[in-house]
Amino acid sequence: MKQNKTMQGYLLNTVVIVVLFAAFQMLTAAYGGSGSFKLVIAPCLWQCCYLIILAASLNLVLGFLGQLSLGHCGFMAIGAYTAALLSLACERSEVFKNANDPVYLVIIFACILAAGVLSALVGLLVGIPALRLKGDYLAIITLGFGMIIVNIINNLPFCGQDGLALGSASASLYKNGLGFGSKSKVTFLWVALLTTIVCMTMMFMFIRSKYGRCIRAIRDDEIAASASGINTSFYKVMTFAYSAFFAGVAGALYACANATLSTSSFAFTNGGILNSTFIVVMVVLGGMGSLTGSVVAAVVMFLVNYQIKNGAWVALLPASVQGVFQYPMLVYAILLIIIIVFRPKGIFGAYEFSLRNLPADLKASRARKAAEKAERKEAGAHV
Amino acid sequence: MLEIKDLNVFYGAIHALKGISLTVGDGELVSLIGANGAGKTTTLHTISGLLHAASGSITLDGKDLQKVPANTIINLGLAHVPEGRHVFARMTVEENLRMGAYILKDQKKVSENLEKVYAHFPRLKERYKQLAGTLSGGEQQMLATGRALMTDPKIVLMDEPSMGLSPLLVKEIFAIIEELHRSGITILLVEQNAKMALAVSDRAYVLETGTISMEGRAADLAADDRVRKAYLGA
């Protein structure tokens, strides 16, 4: 019975995803040529895709394993540089001629995969010593590792600013490789969507598996988990590496979406959308322990970021508020405080949105609300 | 079954256990009583590998437990119910129990043991879908105990099962401990509630600032003047 229900859920999800994906492809085919799609919607979708993967992957460590890691962008940087350099190497050795070459697609996916694998390996190396620590100390050491990674990349002769710019401007060099111009961003939009879907599926499978149960047990009580026979250090390091894998994949998508790479975009002090604290804010906003929450939060945070930078309504605000908007980090900080005060568990809490359970969940929520209302009425009557 | 010889444990410079020795026989319910800071929990943690002894030996059926890491000790048949009801708060009751059977590969055996635990604790069966963190204190203690039983252990170490429970619930928990004992499970019980512990145990040890000051049959100890003065408030 239980098995049956799970199968139903998988089937339903697969069908819905395939239909949505097909519909999206048709829309792209129909409107892909228009200017606003090419210049606004497609780049935004790319950005959403890697932010979703990034937030969900951090949620594995932060929400499900319960360990605060502040170095997530370091892994993303590794993924971005791996993908960019690999595609650059392929381009230079003329493995493919141009973007219409069928080998080109193979190379895109190989680059994405390689980015993930290398990040996971570094995650393993970082995780083994770092996860011996807990709480604040772990946060500090991961923050340090994040900075170290970015600095190492910056100083490596073949991948620092100079490396990618060898002989000519950095942008033009790997543009024919992985760095997409606005036109290829539309053509290869499906790559980003497909990668995101596959990554999310892998993460969902992970948390629903025995491994997911184990890491939730470790989060709730490490001593009891260890007494139940769970090798806590193994699971911690493995989850950390698994999460780093997806951060690397997100990095590869980032490299695709931006024709230039600079280590400063991954630095901790970076005020833009890509820094480790921003991702923590996304996870907290969505709800620690809810992957669907992370997806929603990533989109919401992207929109907030986009609106305060590009929204037409910003010009109507008083000058002082506009002044605050000059520093987006201030806005995120205020947002984080508001979430923690008014909705400490985030938008979703630990709830997972599920198509199969949606009718039942809605019913339960309606019943709960009605009960609360009746209670309040009763309390009112007593007064 | 369980044999401890001349165990010395230090916390830094503090000599917490000063050469204690004790044995637990097959099917016995042995309790270790003593005041706060006597070293009861330290003893249990050392047995289950969470702490390491400076010297001495711990053997389970002749096998040395000292070299075994905490998370594989359960494979040897020693289950630990930690102090203070360590349940997985954000997992359901049934998930908690299934986590207890983590080391069992055989799913049929897991379901069998689950039924056995539910038979011992019908209250848990009623609430199998509830989050463990929302259970009452007594129910959480039942859950922690039930989780330890999921692997069919040879011996169960119980650390202060009565801690923070109302007198009525304490009685209930001890009734359960007695029932488990009668069903043939070997138990090493650590308790501050000496009266209840001595009432259900076969034998007992009294621990005072890291040394065993008295040992003997539980009934004898309960009648002993020194024990009555110090621990039973008579």
Give the pLDDT mean for A225-252.
Answer: 92
Q: Which is it for the CA torsion A93, A95, A100, A103, positive or negative?
A: negative
Percent of chain A with pLDDT over 90: 25
In the prediction, which pLDDT does B125 show? 92
- Comparison of pLDDT for A80 and A166, the residue scoring more: A80
* DSSP code for B92: B
Write the burial class of residue A329 (CB in 10 Å: 0-12 exposed, 13-18 middle, 19+ buried): middle
CB atoms A217 and B50 under 8 Å: no
- CA separation for the pair A266, A72 (Å, rounded): 9
For the cut 90, the answer to whether the pLDDT of residue A244 exceeds it is yes
For the cut 70, the answer to whether the pLDDT of residue A231 exceeds it is yes
Compute chain A's Rg from CA coordinates.
22
- The answer to the question of residue A207 being in a domain is yes
Same-domain check for residues A254 and A221: yes
Q: Left if phi > 0, otherwise alpha if psi is -120 to 50, otherwise beta: which for A135?
A: left
- CA separation for the pair A255, A180 (Å, rounded): 8
In the prediction, which pLDDT does B190 show? 92
Same-domain check for residues A25 and A63: no
Whole-angstrom CA distances from A329 to A276, A281, A324 are 12, 11, 9
Same-domain check for residues A122 and A195: yes
In the prediction, which pLDDT does A167 show? 34
- The answer to the question of residue A132 being in a domain is yes
- The answer to the question of residue A163 being in a domain is yes
CB atoms A229 and B86 under 8 Å: no
CB atoms A230 and B102 under 8 Å: yes
* A345 interfaces chain B, CB cutoff of 8 Å: no
The encoded tokens of residue B34 equal: 């003593």
The encoded tokens of residue B100 equal: 């207890």
The partner residues of B131 in beta bridges, in order of sequence, read: B92
In the prediction, which pLDDT does A327 show? 78
In the prediction, which pLDDT does A166 show? 41
For the cut 50, the answer to whether the pLDDT of residue A173 exceeds it is no
The encoded tokens of residue B44 equal: 């249990």
Q: How many CA atoms lie within 13 A of B26 on its CB side?
A: 2
Which pLDDT band, with edges at 50, 70 and 90, does A171 fall under?
very low
User: Letter for the amino acid at B24?
Assistant: V
For the cut 70, the answer to whether the pLDDT of residue A168 exceeds it is no
For the cut 80, the answer to whether the pLDDT of residue A22 exceeds it is yes
Chain A contacts of B99, Cβ < 8 Å?
A: 213-214, 217, 225, 228, 230
Q: How many CA atoms lie within 13 A of A304 on its CB side?
A: 23
**Residue ranges per domain, chain B?**
2-231
Superfamily (CATH) of domain B2-231? P-loop containing nucleotide triphosphate hydrolases (3.40.50.300)
Whole-angstrom CA distances from A333 to A56, A277, A339, A366, B139 are 20, 10, 10, 33, 41
Residue entry with tokens 């969470």: B50
Determine how β-strand B55-60 pairs with β-strand B63-64.
antiparallel
- The answer to the question of residue A245 being in a domain is yes
Q: What are phi and psi of B103, to 5 degrees?
A: -80, -10
Same-domain check for residues A87 and A25: no
- Comparison of pLDDT for B139 and A89, the residue scoring more: B139
* A209 interfaces chain B, CB cutoff of 8 Å: no
| ipTM reported for the complex, 2 dp | 0.80
Number of domains into which chain A is organized: 3
Strands (E), chain B: 2-11, 14-24, 29-34, 55-60, 63-64, 78-81, 155-159, 186-191, 203-208, 211-217
Same-domain check for residues A176 and A72: yes
For the cut 90, the answer to whether the pLDDT of residue A135 exceeds it is no
Which has the minimum average pLDDT: A73-82, A259-268, A332-341, B24-33?
Answer: A259-268
Residue pair B80/A225 in contact by the 8 Å Cβ criterion? no
State pLDDT tens for residues A297-331: 999 988 888 888 887 787 888 888 888 787 777 88
Same-domain check for residues A269 and A358: no
Please enumerate in sequence order all residues whose Cβ is within 8 A of that of A40, keeping only pairs 6 or more positions apart, or say none: none
In the prediction, which pLDDT does A162 show? 54
DSSP states along B56-72: EEEEETTEE-TTS-TTT
Query: Of the candidates A224, A231, A289, which has its C-beta nearest B82's C-beta?
Result: A224
Please enumerate in sequence order all residues whose Cβ is within 8 A of that of B57, keeping only pairs 6 or more positions apart, or say none: B3, B4, B5, B6, B7, B64, B66
Chain B contacts of A232, Cβ < 8 Å?
A: 71
Q: To 10 degrees, the CA torsion angle through B203, B204, B205, B208?
A: -170
Same-domain check for residues A21 and A153: no
CB atoms A216 and B87 under 8 Å: no
Q: For helices A210-220 and A189-208, give the axis angle rounded to 10 degrees.
A: 70
Closest residue of chain A to B131, computed from CA coordinates:
A220
In the prediction, which pLDDT does B24 show? 93
For the cut 60, the answer to whether the pLDDT of residue A190 exceeds it is yes
CA distance A378 to chain B (A): 25
State pLDDT tens for residues B23-52: 999 999 999 998 888 888 899 989 988 888
Apex CA A215: angle with CA A136 and CA A127, to 5°?
A: 50
Same-domain check for residues A105 and A155: yes
- CA separation for the pair A174, A168 (Å, rounded): 11
Please enumerate in sequence order all residues whose Cβ is within 8 A of that of B156, keeping only pairs 6 or more positions apart, or say none: B79, B80, B81, B145, B148, B149, B180, B185, B186, B187, B188
Same-domain check for residues A88 and A8: no
Please enumerate in sequence order all residues whose Cβ is within 8 A of that of A41, keeping only pairs 6 or more positions apart, or say none: none
Residue ranges making up the domain that contains A377 = 353-383
CA distance B48 to chain A (A): 8
Same-domain check for residues A202 and A259: yes
Q: With a threshold of 0.90, does the pTM exceed it?
A: no
CB atoms B50 and A223 under 8 Å: yes
Write the burial class of residue A135 (CB in 10 Å: 0-12 exposed, 13-18 middle, 19+ buried): exposed
Same-domain check for residues A17 and A98: no
In the prediction, which pLDDT does A169 show? 33
Regions in chain B scoring below 50 on pLDDT: none
The encoded tokens of residue B97 equal: 């129990």
* B48 interfaces chain A, CB cutoff of 8 Å: yes
- The answer to the question of residue A300 being in a domain is no
* A220 interfaces chain B, CB cutoff of 8 Å: yes
Give the pLDDT mean for A25-39.
Answer: 78
Same-domain check for residues A204 and A233: yes
For the cut 80, the answer to whether the pLDDT of residue A66 exceeds it is yes
